[in-house]
Structure 1
Amino acid sequence: MNLFIPDMAYIDPKSLKYEAGRLAKENLEKLNVPIRETNRVTIEGKTPSENYVKSKRTIYLTVNKQKELRPCRPSADYQFALSSSCPGHCEYCYLQTTQGEKPFMKVFVNIDEILQVIQSHIDKNLPNITTFECGSITDPIALEHLTGNLKTCVKFFGDSQYGRLRLITKYDNVESFLDINHNKHTKFRFSINTRYIINKFEHNTASFEERIEAAKKIGKAGYPLGFIIAPIMIHDNWKEEYKDLIYRLKSKLGEYKEEITFELIQHRFTATAKELILTRFPKTELDLSEETRQLKWGPYGKFKYVYPKEKSSEIKEYMSQLVKNNFYDVKIEYFT
């Protein structure tokens, strides 16, 4: 897909003290993106929906001064951020309720300081391996062409004896990672789904075929490879669509003989998320019927609506068998 080009870029002046900040500004200028050097982002839409759309076209270069990283179970030991939010407009996104009415993209340019924090967490956990997730609140590949920060991270972890990196993406901009000496210390996971779900609900992301092609390139480059199938939705002909997804993936990755992991996540939503989704996407065709779901207590202190036990069990059994029957060396890390 085409690389994301924002409509407006705000730059905190202190960001220009950093090499990555200066590089990002140069890249934005080459793309003819309007720039304002200020530490205040102004988005003035007439409606919440307009604020959302404008925010998704706006970036803010700034710094991340976080010193203590948050845990990130079950994906990794810790999570860190190279940016927040992303250009995608996924109607079901679990970040809908965490990034406010105006989820513009913060791009953190103090990469050396971020890596120092990561190293401190590795040192505290010696001699154990410490794993880090960098895709919890963003899609790190979606904005990589502006900073090159993720490539810097992959090189860092390639040289790290005790640190490992995991990332997740719905984008296909992977060429800059194919010639790195990564030492298999970075795991790429691609978020995939049926054509119906991608086309219907995952706006401004790479297509079904583009993601699978990108995964093939990453696998060929020797990286550990995984897939998140999320959210798994029950809809007309859902079993055949997921079968088609797995068969297509299998045909593309036929030469990849290393272990492939899968994370399987059923569709869920909270009452707060439902309200916000209906505000931002008033014509959504997401199944947000509370009457056909059951409540489950979430890890962040909120109830969420999930499929009832019998349907959840059906999804788990069907998807698990489908995956296990079609790959040479496969591990299902979890179903939730």
Structure 2
Amino acid sequence: MKLFIPDIAYIDPKILKYPAGEKVIEYLESLNIPIVNSKKVVIDCETPEENYAMAKKTVLFTTNGQKKLVSCRPSADYQFSLSSSCPANCEYCYLQTTQGEKPFMKIFLNMDEILEVIQSYIDKNMPNITSFECASITDPIALEHLSGNLKRCIEYFGESSNGRLRLVTKFDDVDPFLKLKHNKHTKFRFTLNSRYVINNFEHNTSSFYERIEAVKKIACAGYPIGFIIAPIMIYDNWKEEYKELFDTLKIALQGYKGEISFELIQHRFTKAAKELIVQRFKNTALNLNEENRQLKWGPYGKFKYVYKKLDSEDMNNYISKLINSNFNRAIIEYFT
């Protein structure tokens, strides 16, 4: 997949005191990307749909001043951010309602300060292992070529005795990480799905087969690996297509001896998300029929629509059976 190139880049003056800021500006200039020296991003189109589209091609390079990290269970002990938002246009994205009408991307360049915060949490939890997720509100692979942040993080955790890193991606640009000294301290997870879901709802992401090739590369590089199968959907021929997914993945991972984790997440949506999805994707084929779902209270104080109990149980049992029959060292961490 081609690397993401923004239409416009905003430069927060704060980044100019960091060496990474100068490198970023040189790179942007080499690509002839328009640069605006301002920490305030201006997106003022005629319609919400146009604002959304423009935001998805706009990047602000700035700093992350977060000192207090929040929990990220069940994925990890804590989460931190190298960036926010991403260039993908996944119609079902759970961030639809949290990043506003203009979800432009932010890339943080104060890596020394971010790593200092991480180290403080590792130190407080000594001698235990402390795990961190860096992809809760972004896809770090999609934006890595614009910053080099993730490469530095992987090397940092590779040297850490008590820190572990986790990330997840829908992108295939993994070559920069293949020769790093990761010491198995970084776990790569890939979001995978049936070809129907990827082709119809995951716009501007790597294709089904591009992701499978990236999986093979990361596995061969010795990283711990895992998969988020999400959002699992019920549609015509869904069982046949999910079987194809796991059959293909089994072939790709022939010879991989490590444990493989799986996180299973059924499709869900809130009323607010549904309104935004219909607005942004006029011809969406997402099944947002509330009558076919049941309400479930979410951890962030909102009801969400999930599949009804019998459908959910069928989905969980079927996908779990496919996983356990194809992978000897599979660990299904959860189904939700």
**Counterpart residue number, 1:331:** 331
**Counterpart residue number, 1:26:** 26
**Counterpart residue number, 2:245:** 245
**Counterpart residue number, 2:311:** 311
Equivalent AA in structure 2 for residue 179 of structure 1: K
Whether 1:89 aligns to 2:80 is: no
Whether 1:73 aligns to 2:73 is: yes
Contact 1:165–1:186 (8 Å) recurs in 2: yes
C-alpha separation in 2, matches of 1:26 and 1:261: 40
**Counterpart residue number, 1:282:** 282
**Counterpart residue number, 2:223:** 223
C-alpha separation in 2, matches of 1:77 and 1:45: 40
Moved more, 316-325 or 22-31: 22-31
Whether 1:182 aligns to 2:175 is: no
**Counterpart residue number, 2:49:** 49
The one-character-per-residue Cα deviations of 1:188-235 (angstroms, maximum 9, x if unpaired) are: 000010111000000000000001100110000000000100000000
Contact 1:15–1:109 (8 Å) recurs in 2: yes
Whether 1:197 aligns to 2:178 is: no
Count of equivalent residues? 336
The one-character-per-residue Cα deviations of 1:1-46 (angstroms, maximum 9, x if unpaired) are: 0000000000001112112222222221121111111111111111
SS at match of 1:249: helix
Moved more, 29-38 or 187-196: 29-38
**Counterpart residue number, 1:298:** 298
C-alpha separation in 2, matches of 1:21 and 1:185: 28
Contact 1:20–1:149 (8 Å) recurs in 2: no
C-alpha separation in 2, matches of 1:21 and 1:169: 25
The one-character-per-residue Cα deviations of 1:272-328 (angstroms, maximum 9, x if unpaired) are: 100111111111110001111000000000000000111000000000010010013
C-alpha separation in 2, matches of 1:109 and 1:141: 15
**Counterpart residue number, 2:150:** 150
SS at match of 1:334: strand
SS at match of 2:311: helix
Equivalent AA in structure 1 for residue 312 of structure 2: S
What percent of counterpart residues are identical? 68
**Counterpart residue number, 1:267:** 267
Contact 1:10–1:61 (8 Å) recurs in 2: yes
C-alpha separation in 2, matches of 1:135 and 1:3: 18
Runs of 4+ in 1 over 4 A off after TM superposition: none
**Counterpart residue number, 2:209:** 209
C-alpha separation in 1, matches of 2:313 and 2:23: 49
SS at match of 2:164: strand
The one-character-per-residue Cα deviations of 1:95-151 (angstroms, maximum 9, x if unpaired) are: 000001100001000011000000001111111100000000000000000110000
> Normalization by structure 1: what TM-score?
0.99
C-alpha separation in 2, matches of 1:65 and 1:263: 31
Moved more, 227-236 or 38-47: 38-47
C-alpha separation in 2, matches of 1:63 and 1:302: 30
Equivalent AA in structure 2 for residue 26 of structure 1: E
Equivalent AA in structure 1 for residue 22 of structure 2: R
Equivalent AA in structure 2 for residue 49 of structure 1: E
Equivalent AA in structure 1 for residue 235 of structure 2: H
Equivalent AA in structure 2 for residue 44 of structure 1: D
Equivalent AA in structure 1 for residue 319 of structure 2: M
Contact 1:166–1:188 (8 Å) recurs in 2: yes
Equivalent AA in structure 2 for residue 270 of structure 1: T
C-alpha separation in 2, matches of 1:318 and 1:241: 12
**Counterpart residue number, 1:39:** 39
